[in-house]
A and B are shown apart, each in its own frame.
Chain A
Amino acid sequence: MSILWLTPAALWGLALIAGPIAIHLLARQQTRRVEYPSLRFLRSSQLAAFRRRSIQDALLLLCRSAIVMAAVLALAGPVLQTAARTAAYAERVARAVIVEPGVAPSAAGEVAGNAFASRSFARADLGDAIADATRWLNEQPPAAREIVFAGALRRGRISAGQLSAIPSLVGIRFVTTQGLPASQDMTLPVLRAGSDGALVMIPQQVRLSAEETRVVEGGATPALPDQVRIIAAPADQPVADAALRAALTAGLRWSEPSSRVLVVWSGADEVAVRAMQQGATAVRMERPTPVSSSASAVVAAIEQMTASSTTSLEPVRITRDQLEAWSRPPGAVPADTRPVDEGDRRWFWGLALALLGLEQVMRRTRASTAAVPATDVEVRADGRP
């Protein structure tokens, strides 16, 4: 059995035990030495009374110190860690439910079930939601811990990298609470070179469904001057320009119409790069080999920087096998969990009160043994006894 403390700082109060000890020592010091003409009439059994008194003093000191100690321990909020209590901790579960935006609160409540403690987290960014849930679980009393992901569980919504941020003793579970939309509509800007060679920005209306992907292009608008440029070593510059032209002819997905990009091949003159950058985002890449793949390499580099992923938007669930692979049961109760008040301080308060009563009894006993009435002596000054 061990003891955890709700307010460990209160244990500094144990220094108060020095109070009764100091008083006891001072009292002893004050009454210690008396120079006396002769000890011939102060012998034998009379010493036992003092010893008895000394023992009483020591017991009284012990009792008073124990009173202070019990009171301080009670204030520190003790939590007794018995085997039964530890087993009970392992039985209960603190559950954080991470719900996808749009999931009904009632659905989150159903997922929480009969958890010892539960809370739902709904954040647009899943990483933020996991961080919040982990932080909340760390603050919970001793219990098994679990994070439940509730929602449509669409493919792309959850990644293994995000789940790796969850502590190993925290269980992971997935619950599907809503259906997938039949289709997903979005607008994707595309930068493309027109037939006259001028760059234009074309908004593409994309509809994703389980069966098909439909794209409808909108009206073109002129692109910004120098919205995308490429620089390479002087010997490679013609190839680089040709690659960019080829990429623009096919069209580049562009997330932000106002952003500008400077593609920099390895070997480019850095002075020229700095002169050309002027607020544009530099996308550095190796000189493509073979040269014939230069256009696709340029497209990949630019789209990695500018285009948003469409995989997370596909209306398809994560496979059951994948979810099972990510799932795990709650682990043991973490050793560093913050204890919760189990009402154990009442035992210490009771002990303090009992000791207080005992101290009263001891004080009365001590006073009664010390109260021997003094007998005056009449000695006649003329010397005649």
Chain B
Amino acid sequence: MSRPHVVTSSELQSLRDLELVTRRTVEGLRQGLHRSPFHGFSAEFSQYRHYRPGDDLKHVDWKALARTDRLYTRQFRETTNLSALFVLDVSRSMNFGGKFDLARQVTAVLGTLVLDQGDAAGVLAVDDRPRLVPPRSGHHHLRVFLSQLAHLTPAGGARLADALKQAATVMKRRGLVIVVSDFYEDEDALPQVRRLARMGHDVVVVHTLAREELALDMGGAAEFVDLETGSTLMVQPSAVREGYIAAVQQWLTSVHDTVTRDGMEYLRLVTGSPLEPALRRFLMPRRGGR
């Protein structure tokens, strides 16, 4: 899907910045990840051949051995690569404390990793209308992928749940769905995330948060305006900080437990913390597949 688009100088600059940061992070990650952290599901049986020493025993056809008393090794033909779709939350709540930049950066890094290993990556965001880059592979697609990310702004009125519903229709076959959001709409979004997992997708939840919103690190009394709804509340941060932090911690635990209980993977990223070590700790256990 291509549409005419005039790239402004500011957008071009942001794209360059995104590419630069992404490339640097990806290069750093590669030093520790010799094998692909993501694996495709689609492998199709091709033929038998006689077993040769050194073949992986897991590919030996033990039933054929029982019938023929000979060792055969099964050979597979990859029909398709991994298809990864990044569902990015572009609601207004992401426009706080550099949270959206963090979400866009982690999407760009992981997307680049996927594309670099020859798999397909796409991105879906829903603001006033769906903005979709369908999962495709190839080096040229990386530029399209990053360009779409650079154009996204956290000013959407649509809900994350709607984007996830649309992701279920976009991903026809099993693939990797990475949801990047602050999950303030968790009551609506998490059921949709679980639905994607039940459809057989490998789902990764990336929970992006700003450090300020975790600690309510604000000054004096103020009128707080909800970025999503516009509703207001008079708050004295110093007076409510203790209760606020406890409530946020409880919520974080709840989201984490909900995600991991259904077998999905959960990654929490906070602004101000180095991205590369966090991604490395997350991706290392994925080496060698599932």
Which residues of chain A have a CB within 8 Å of any CB of chain B? 31-43, 46-47, 49-51, 53-54, 369-372, 374-377, 379-385
Contacts and interface: CB of A to CB of B under 8 A. Distances in A.
Interface in B213-256: 213-215, 217-229, 231-236, 238-245, 247-249, 251-253, 256
A39 B226 contact: yes
A381 B269 contact: yes
A379 B239 contact: no
Contacts of B213: 36-38
B239 A369 contact: yes
Contacts of A33: 222-225, 232
B234 A51 contact: yes
Given A374-B217, A374-B241, A382-B267, A41 B247 contact: yes
B256 A42 contact: no
Question: Which residue among A35, A375, A377, A385 has the maximum number of chain B CB atoms within 10 Å of its CB?
Answer: A377
B144 interface: no
Contacts of A38: 93, 184, 213, 226-228
Nearest to B280: A382
B241 A37 contact: no
Contact of B209 (A42, A374, A379): A379
A40 B255 CA distance: 15
16 contacts: A31-B220, A34-B225, A36-B226, A37-B94, A42-B244, A46-B236, A47-B234, A49-B240, A375-B241, A376-B215, A377-B214, A377-B249, A379-B209, A382-B267, A385-B249, A385-B253
A121 to B, nearest CB: 69
Contact of B239 (A32, A35, A43, A46): A46
A207 to B, nearest CB: 100
Interface of B: 93-94, 96, 99, 182, 184, 207, 209-210, 213-215, 217-229, 231-236, 238-245, 247-249, 251-253, 256, 266-270, 273-274, 277-278, 281-282
Contacts of A374: 215, 217, 238, 241
Given A31-B220, A41-B247, A49 B239 contact: yes
A43 B240 CA distance: 9
Contacts of A372: 238-239, 241-242
Contacts of B217: 374
A257 B93 CA distance: 112
A41 B251 contact: yes
A329 to B, nearest CB: 68
A383 B282 contact: yes
Q: Which DSSP category, helix, strand, loop or mixed, fits chain A's interface? A: loop
Contacts of B256: 383-385
A380 B268 contact: yes
Contacts of A34: 218, 222-225
Nearest to A31: B220
Contacts of B215: 374-377
Contacts of B207: 383
B269 to A, nearest CB: 6
B107 to A, nearest CB: 16
Nearest to B228: A38
Contact of A42 (B96, B99, B240, B267): B240
A42 B233 CA distance: 8
Contact of A383 (B214, B248, B267, B274): B267
B281 A382 contact: yes
A37 B227 contact: yes
B207 to A, nearest CB: 7
Given A370-B220, A379-B214, 11 more contacts: A32-B222, A46-B235, A46-B240, A49-B239, A53-B236, A372-B239, A376-B215, A377-B215, A377-B248, A379-B252, A379-B268
Nearest to B233: A39
B184 A383 contact: no
A371 B220 CA distance: 11
A54 to B, nearest CB: 7
B236 A42 contact: no
A383 B264 CA distance: 13
B236 A50 contact: yes
Given A37-B182, A49-B239, A375-B245, A383 B225 contact: no
**Which 3 residue pairs of A and B lie closest in terms of their CB atoms, listed nearest first?**
A383-B268, A49-B239, A381-B278
Contact of B234 (A50, A379, A382, A385): A50
Nearest to B244: A41
Nearest to B242: A375
Given A383-B266, A385-B253, A37 B240 contact: no
B238 A46 contact: no
Contacts of A54: 221, 234
B99 to A, nearest CB: 7
Contacts of B244: 41-42, 46
Question: Which residue among B233, B236, B242 has the maximum number of chain A CB atoms within 10 Å of its CB?
Answer: B236
